[in-house]
Structure 1
C-alpha cells in the first residue's frame, strides 16, 4: 500500500513539474473571416514569422489578407485549404490548438469570459493588450503576458489620453478604444480637431480639408475622378490636385507612395481593407476621430473612425510628402 501511494505521489509530482499544456494561447479557438481578437494578432504574427503574412503589421482583424495567408500556409503544409485557422493549422504552426487546463490558466479564463483584464491576469489576452498599448505608445516594457503594475500604468495612460474613466482596468470601453484605429499617444492630445498643422510640407491641411468638405454629397462612381462622381481614390486625387499636389490614382498606389505615420493628423490619408486584400478604401483624416471619403453607398461623406464597420477594417495612415 505504501509503495502504491509513493508511486502515485511521484507520478503526480512529475505531472506538476512538467505540465503538458502551457498557459492559454494561440489555438484556444477557431479563427475565421470577420473576427477581431487578440488571437488573430498572434496568428498574424506566427504567419509573418514563417513568411506567409505579408502585411507590414499585425492588425488583429481576420480579413482577406489573413485568410489568404492561412490558405497559403495550409497548402504548403498539405492541410485542407479552407482559409480557416483551426486545430490542424494551429498544430502545424506549433501552437497548442486547444484550451489550457484550468489549473494553469484560471486568470486568463476569468478575464476572457468577463471581457475584463486587471492586475493579476495572465495569458495571451494580456499579451495582446500589451502589444496594442505598445502600438499606441503607452507601453514600453517587455511583452510578457503578465498584467502587472507596468501594464496597469499603460492602461491608465491610454484611458487618460482617450478621455475614458481612468481605473487601470482593461474593460469593454478600453478595448473598444484600442480597436478603434485612433492613436492617442501619451505625448499627444487625444483630440486633434483643433490641429491646424499641415500634414506635410507640401500640403496645407486646413485648406485641404475645407476643399474636401465642399465636395460633400458628390455621388459615388466606380472609377470616377470628377465632380460628376468619385470613387475613394479618385476623390483623394482630385482634392490633392486642387492643392497643387500630385498623388497616384489607386488606393493601393497611394498607400505605397505615402509615408507611414502612427498618429494620423489632419490631412493624412487613412486606409481600410474592404472588398479585397490590402488597402482597398481610403479617406482623408479631418480630426476628432473622423475622416472624409467617397463611400460606395454614400458618396462623399464624413464618417467616424470608430464606426463598427470601419474600425475593424482600419489598416493604417499615410502622409503625402
Structure 2
C-alpha cells in the first residue's frame, strides 16, 4: 500500500476511534477527580469524590458513598452518561468527569458580605448535608416532610414539603429554603441554630407518616427505590426516576417475596423494608481487599507472583505482569497443594504462604520489571492502521513476513506492553467478557471451526481491524458474514 493511502486510512481509523478511546485515558488536567479512569471493582479516594458528586446531583444515595466502585456506582454513572449524551459504559473517564464537575450545584464560596446580620445557607434541590437533615427533621416534626426517613438530600419530596410550608405561611412558595423561610421555620436569627430539644409530646406519637410512591410518581425518591430494588434483584431496568409499570411490577415481586400486601404501591412499610434489605445486601457485598491479586490484575505484583510460582514449579509460562487464566490455574494448583481455600485469588494468606515456600527453596525469583508505559488505546488503533494492507501469512507475527490473525493481535498488544497468548482460543480464555465492545476491545468470531477462531480489534463506529485472508483490513461488523459468526467481545488490558 502506498504511504499516502496508509496515512489516509490511519486518519480515518483514528478519527472513528477517538471518541470512544479518549474515555479510557486518565486526565492530567483535573484536580483529584480525573487523575485516573475509574471503573467497576476499584477502591480509591477518587471514587468517593465521584460518588459525592453523583449524590449531589441525585444519582446516588448517601449510603452509597463508600469509596468502592461497585455495581450501584456503575449504574449511577451509566444513568448520568445517558442523561448527558455520553457513551454509556459505566466507566468514569475524562468526558464523564468533565460533565460531572461542570454541573451546577457545587457549594458556593463562603460569603464575603460585611452584613452583621447572620444568614442561613440557601438550600434547594441538589443540596445535601447536615443542613438538609436539620431542615427535613423540622419539616417532619411539623408534618410537612412525609418521606419515611431523613436522607440529608434535598430532592423533590423535600422541595414539596418546603413549598407546602411556604404556602401555609403565605410567603413566596418557591420550594427553595432561603434565609427568610428558615428563619421563620426555626424562629431564630442564628445562622447555626442550636439543635432544638425534642418537645415532650402531649399525647402518644402518631403512626409513621403515610408517604407512598405509586404509579406515575417521579423524582429522586423513585430513583432510590429503583436503585434499591435493582441491588436486590427485583428491578432490571433503567433507573429513570419514573414509577412506571415495570417499577410497579418490581414492587409487587418484592412485596410477595417478603410476605407484604401485594399492592404495587411502595408505602411507608414497604420502603422501610426495601431500604433495610438493600443496606444489608450492600454490607454483605464488601469490596475485595486492594492487596488481593485476581483475574485481570496487572503490574509488578503480578510479575512477582508469577516469578514465585515459577520457582515452586506451579507456573510454567512467560512472566508477563498479567493475571490471566494460566496464572489463575497456577494459583489454584498451589492452593490445593497446600490445603488453602481453592479460589484462584492470590489473597494475603496465599501470597504469604507462597513467599514462605520460596524462601525454603533458597532460590531468588526474578525481580519485577520496571513500570511500563500506560496502555494507550489511541496508539493501539494508530499502530493497527499503519499495518492496513500488510499481507496475510500463516504463522506470521512480524511486519516483514506478514501476519496471521492471532499474530497480528499479539504484535500490536506487545507494543502496548501487554503479552497475549498466541492462539485465538487462548486469547478468548484470557479476556474479560464485556457486554458491548468499546474501542480497543477484541471481537471474536466462529469461522472455520467450532469456537473462537478469528478476531480483530474494535475501533468504533461498528468497524474492526483484523488480519484475514486478504491481509490486514478494516471490516464492518454489521455485515451479515460477521454478524452470523459473532461470538462476543473481551477486554485484554
Shorter-normalised TM-score: what interval?
0.3 to 0.5
Larger Cα Rg: Structure 1 or Structure 2?
2
TM-score (norm 2): 0.25
Higher RCO (C-alpha 8 Å, min separation 6):
1
TM-score (norm 1): 0.37
